[in-house]
Structure formats: structure tokens, C-alpha cells
């Protein structure tokens, strides 16, 4: 991540992600990185991430450094904070970015010291909304660390009752929903199926709900898969371990690609989690979907997000997955999905 070979006037932006669950923070930063060169020609973009998915970013051609989180290091919190502050200082010393974009809901102690130490660097906080009511309110004080806050839009913003929803601050700029893939990036259905190695004929459904057991109908993945297979719809899962447990199931397929959303044309319908990225990609890219909110998240109010989408007729909201509920959801998507 050395900038030594770059022209002195070439702008440098460091994308920094927290250690959130899943790929959400990194994916949003990748969306910024993809579109930024059009607005800022010649920009040099690098990444610093606390996510174990950081090596994936490197395969996309970006200089990337992985900074292990406290959980990954096994350090005590006080030790890790010192480690984090030193590593961050070292990266900033090498890269000398003009701008740092931090995507996360909990800016780490040590960022404030870095802001002071590198006075020529502007810091931007990419702060997703839809926080669970009453949670994380103390983090809003850290807005003072940043020159600007970008709040990626949420299609369910009308249902947002979290701490950021009522913030009126000239430093906060609310933008439209941020997704890595746009409609122009979609592969056509036949090409998408070839790319993923899927059958040319027949209906297929994407099931992206995290871990589960496809043969256990008391499990969300299993209940959804059973409802699909009963209707002759092939099941495409994003977790290899799920498919490996599908004994003698020729209608279960593993799909491995990033971003999988550019291949949405391969699928007739989908059952996906209610996180920011999967939610907005499914809706914006026109994939008929049933959303299963994860209510165990610390902060992301997925139930509010998916509930609003269901009430608005954009998708099927599936807060509780039972065999009966999954069957109803499949039938609704088959009948109404194309018009959603």
C-alpha cells in the first residue's frame, strides 16, 4: 500500500470497514470505489478492513490491508485498542490518504487520535440508518470526529425509528440506496445460468439465509427448500455446507460468485435475509423475493425494513419461517412476484 510511485497530485482515498456481520460494510465501500473514478478521475483507492473477507477485496484489484478485530486476535479490549491505534497510524503514514471513508456503526477509539495526528486527511463516516430504537445513541457523539457523514438511503426509511432517523445536522448527507450492482450490470438469464453452472431449463430459486439444514423442515433453510422442491423448483444455495447435507438431491445447487447479484437473472424467485445489501439489491434489480429478517442482530432493524417492504407490496415479508408459511410465500411469489 505504498504511495511512493504515485504522482503527488493524484488523489488518494482509503476505504475502511468495520468488523460487522456479513459483507455489508465492505460491499458498500466497494460500491463507492467502483463509482468514484467517474467523479474523481485518477483517484487511487485502497482498503483497510477489520473483516476476514478482506482478501476477497484484494482479488478485485485493490490494495488491501487486513487489520484483525479484537475477536480475531483474542486480545483483551485494552490491548486491542492500542494495537488498532498503532496499525491505523502505520497505514495512514504509508498511504497518506486525502480522504478516509469509514463504513460502520461504531467508530473505534483510535480514529479520533488519527484525525488529530493527520490533520490534512478528511474523514467521512458512511453510516447506515435503520438502527433498532434506543440503541447505539452514544455513537452519534462521534460525528464530531468526521468532516462529513454520508447516510446510504433505505427504501424502508419511512419505518426507521432509530437514533439516526431524526438527526438534523448539516454535516449529514442522505443519499439514495447504495448497491454494488446496477441493472446495467445484470447478465441475461441464459448467460447468468451458464456462468453459475446451473440447468438451462426449469425454475430456480436463490436461497441465501446463512447456515441451515436443507433436510430439516424445522430449520428456515429446510422449510423453504421443502416448499420449493414440492413445487418442482430447483434450490440454489450460497452455503456449500448446506448442499453437502442434501443427500441424493439433484435439484440442489451451490452458487459461488461475488457479487452474486449480477446473476440474479438466473433465478425466478428468492428467499434472502433482510440485511441492507441483499434487501436493496433484490428490490432494485427486480428479483421477486421473500425477505427473512434476522431479529438477532445487535443494531440493524431488519424486521422494520422487511415489514415495510411487505406492507408496501414490494416483496413477501417472512418474519417466521415454518413449512406452512414458506409454502404460502412460494405460492405468492409465483403468482404475484413479477408484478412486485
pLDDT tens figures, 186-207 = 999 999 999 999 999 999 999 9
Domain boundary residue, one of 151, 174, 197: 174
Q: How many domains does the chain have?
A: 2
Asked if residue 3 belongs to a domain, the reply is no
Asked if residue 6 belongs to a domain, the reply is no
Domain of 190?
A: 183-339
Asked if residue 150 belongs to a domain, the reply is yes
Same domain, 322 and 240: yes
Is beta strand 99-103 parallel, antiparallel or unpaired with respect to 63-66? Answer: unpaired
Residue 81, pLDDT > 90, answer yes
The pLDDT value given to residue 217: 56
Rounded average pLDDT over 271-289: 96
Same domain, 30 and 138: yes
Asked if residue 2 belongs to a domain, the reply is no
Same domain, 226 and 97: no
- What CATH number does residue 160 fall under? 3.40.50.2000
pTM to 2 decimal places: 0.91
Domain boundary residue, one of 156, 174, 192: 174
Rounded average pLDDT over 318-339: 96
The count of other CB atoms within 10 Å of the CB of residue 323 is: 15
Buried b / exposed e along 32-55 (16+ C-beta atoms within 10 A): bbeebeeeeeebbbbbbbbbebbe
Residue 283, pLDDT > 60, answer yes
Asked if residue 1 belongs to a domain, the reply is no
Same domain, 75 and 134: yes
Same domain, 166 and 20: yes
Rounded average pLDDT over 44-50: 97
Of 125, 122, 87, 88, the C-alpha closest to 105 is 125
Residue 142, pLDDT > 50, answer yes
Asked if residue 244 belongs to a domain, the reply is yes
Helix (H, G, I), strand (E, B) or coil at 91: helix
Q: What is the 3-state secondary structure (H, E, C) of 170-221?
A: CCEEECCCCCCCCHHHCCCHHHHHHHHCCCCCCCEEEEECCCCCCCCCCCHH
Q: Is-contact 302 132, C-beta < 8 A?
A: no
What share of the chain in percent tops pLDDT 90?
81
The pLDDT value given to residue 239: 74
Rounded average pLDDT over 245-255: 69
Amino acid at each position: 500500500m505504498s504511495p511512493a510511485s504515485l504522482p503527488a497530485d493524484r488523489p488518494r482515498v482509503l476505504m475502511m470497514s468495520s468488523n460487522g456481520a456479513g459483507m455489508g460494510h465492505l460491499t458498500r465501500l466497494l460500491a463507492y470505489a467502483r463509482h468514484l473514478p467517474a467523479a474523481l478521475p485518477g483517484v487511487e483507492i485502497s482498503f483497510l478492513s477489520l473483516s476476514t473477507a478482506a482478501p476477497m477485496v484484494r482479488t478485485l484489484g485493490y490494495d488491501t490491508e487486513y487489520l484483525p478485530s479484537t475477536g480475531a486476535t483474542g486480545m483483551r479490549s485494552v490491548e486491542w485498542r492500542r494495537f488498532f491505534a498503532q496499525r491505523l497510524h502505520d497505514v495512514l503514514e504509508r498511504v497518506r490518504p486525502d480522504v478516509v471513508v469509514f463504513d460502520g456503526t461504531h467508530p473505534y477509539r483510535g480514529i479520533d487520535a488519527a484525525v488529530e495526528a493527520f490533520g490534512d486527511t478528511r474523514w467521512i463516516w458512511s453510516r447506515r440508518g435503520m438502527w433498532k430504537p434506543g440503541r447505539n445513541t452514544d455513537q452519534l457523539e462521534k460525528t464530531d470526529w468526521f468532516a462529513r457523514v454520508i447516510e446510504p438511503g433505505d427504501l424502508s426509511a419511512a419505518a426507521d425509528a432509530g437514533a439516526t432517523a431524526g438527526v438534523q445536522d448539516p454535516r449529514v448527507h442522505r443519499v439514495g440506496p447504495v448497491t454494488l450492482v446496477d441493472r446495467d450490470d445484470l447478465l441475461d438469464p441464459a448467460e447468468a445460468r451458464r456462468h453459475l453452472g446451473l440447468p438451462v431449463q426449469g425454475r430456480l430459486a436463490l436461497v441465501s439465509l446463512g447456515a441451515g439444514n436443507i433436510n430439516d423442515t424445522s430449520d428456515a433453510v429446510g422449510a423453504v427448500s421443502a416448499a420449493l422442491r414440492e413445487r418442482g423448483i430447483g434450490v440454489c444455495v450460497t452455503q456449500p455446507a448446506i448442499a453437502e447435507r442434501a443427500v441424493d438431491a439433484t435439484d440442489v445447487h451451490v452458487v459461488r460468485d461475488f457479487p452474486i447479484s449480477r446473476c440474479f437473472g438466473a433465478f425466478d424467485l428468492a428467499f434472502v435475509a433482510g440485511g441492507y445489501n441483499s434487501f436493496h439489491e433484490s428490490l432494485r434489480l427486480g428479483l421477486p423475493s421473500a425477505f427473512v429478517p434476522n431479529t438477532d442482530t445487535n443494531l440493524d432493524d431488519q424486521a422494520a425494513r422487511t415489514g415495510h417492504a411487505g406492507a408496501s407490496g414490494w416483496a413477501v415479508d417472512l418474519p417466521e419461517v415454518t413449512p406452512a408459511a414458506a409454502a404460502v410465500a412460494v405460492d405468492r411469489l409465483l403468482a404475484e412476484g413479477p408484478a412486485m
